[in-house]
């Protein structure tokens, strides 16, 4: 087998990668892929990739390292995927998320961050309105599994909502059967306050009232995935009781 070394592990990835777990490659990319060896799936990617709670950042992966269906398993501290043996020992693990209290100016910082990402698609605006008004059951029905992206936009909105609620000291657990499988994996992390680094940075900047930092970080977040970045931010806004389209308190 060809050996490579993991340099960083997300907290969700660490929980999933336990000796004896078995599975396969679900989705393959040019430089990595999603590998499921239990719950949740983990994203194996090169070291310079954007980092999230399910990420395993690896030095030494070649081009097209995996193919869908490649067998995967955990054995003696290493992730075996296809022809690769990825050593996990010594990989940096991300510290637990911290809850930043909302301070004066958070609402303005949120409005500035929302101004640099696209507006929500009309098909999902109703679900966001239900989220902002506290009707979570209806919102889940209207958002879960819907929208564009590898993780559907509606699933990402629910994840942003859950992470903001965690930071507010009001964590929630959404139904286990909601969302597409990959969206559900990220949602379980968000319920613990764990978000992709770009989204976590925006949330911290907004909650601390730093409008300049929130705007800069939101521009970076907008490039996260096909639709994931903006969707995460729309979900945060809904959790704050702010309608993402109008930037006004929900009625």
Residue 240 — pLDDT band, cuts 50, 70, 90? very high
How confident is the model at residue 206, as a pLDDT? 97
Identify the pLDDT of residue 245: 57
Asked if the model's pLDDT at residue 142 lies above 90, the reply is yes
pLDDT at 31 over 80: yes
**Mean per-residue pLDDT, 230-238:** 95
Does position 247 have pLDDT exceeding 60, yes or no?
no
The predicted model gives 149-163 an average pLDDT of 93
Q: Are 204 and 132 in contact (CB under 8 A)?
A: no
Mean pLDDT for the stretch of residues 225-240:
93
pLDDT given at position 243: 66
pLDDT class of 150 with cuts at 50, 70, 90: confident
pLDDT tens, residue by residue, 98-128: 999 999 999 999 999 999 999 888 899 899 9
Determine whether 145 is exposed, middle or buried from the number of CB atoms within 10 Å of its CB (0-12, 13-18, 19+): middle
Phi, psi angles (nearest 5°) of residue 166: -60, -45
Mean pLDDT of 180-195: 93
Distance of alpha carbon 32 from alpha carbon 244, whole angstroms: 33
Looking at every residue in the chain, the average pLDDT score rounds to: 92
Residues 193, 166 contacting (CB under 8 angstroms): yes
Average pLDDT over residues 151-162: 94
CA 108, 205, 174: angle at the middle one, nearest 5?
95
Mean per-residue pLDDT, 86-100: 92
Q: How far is it, in rounded angstroms, from Cα 172 to Cα 151?
A: 20
């Amino acid at each position: 087998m060809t050996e490579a070394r993991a340099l960083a592990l997300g907290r969700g990835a660490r929980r999933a990668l336990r000796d004896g777990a078995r599975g396969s490659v679900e989705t393959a990319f040019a430089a990595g892929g999603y590998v499921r060896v239990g719950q949740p799936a983990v994203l194996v990617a090169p070291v310079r990739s954007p980092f999230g709670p399910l990420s395993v950042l690896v030095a030494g992966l070649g081009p097209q390292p995996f193919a869908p269906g490649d067998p995967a398993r955990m054995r003696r501290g290493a992730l075996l995927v296809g022809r690769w043996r990825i050593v996990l020992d010594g990989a940096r693990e991300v510290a637990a998320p911290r809850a930043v209290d909302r301070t004066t100016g958070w609402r303005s910082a949120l409005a500035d961050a929302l101004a640099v990402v696209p507006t929500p698609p009309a098909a999902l605006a109703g679900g966001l309105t239900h989220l902002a008004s506290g009707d979570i059951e209806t919102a889940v029905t209207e958002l879960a599994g819907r929208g564009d992206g590898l993780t559907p936009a509606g699933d990402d909105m629910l994840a942003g909502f859950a992470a903001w609620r965690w930071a507010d000291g009001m964590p929630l657990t959404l139904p286990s059967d909601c969302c597409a499988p990959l969206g559900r994996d990220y949602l379980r992390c968000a319920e613990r306050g764990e978000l992709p680094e770009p989204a976590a940075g925006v949330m911290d900047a907004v909650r601390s009232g730093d409008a300049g930092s929130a705007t800069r970080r939101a521009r970076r977040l907008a490039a996260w995935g096909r639709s994931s970045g903006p969707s995460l931010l729309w979900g945060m806004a809904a959790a704050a009781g702010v309608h993402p389209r109008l930037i006004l308190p929900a009625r």
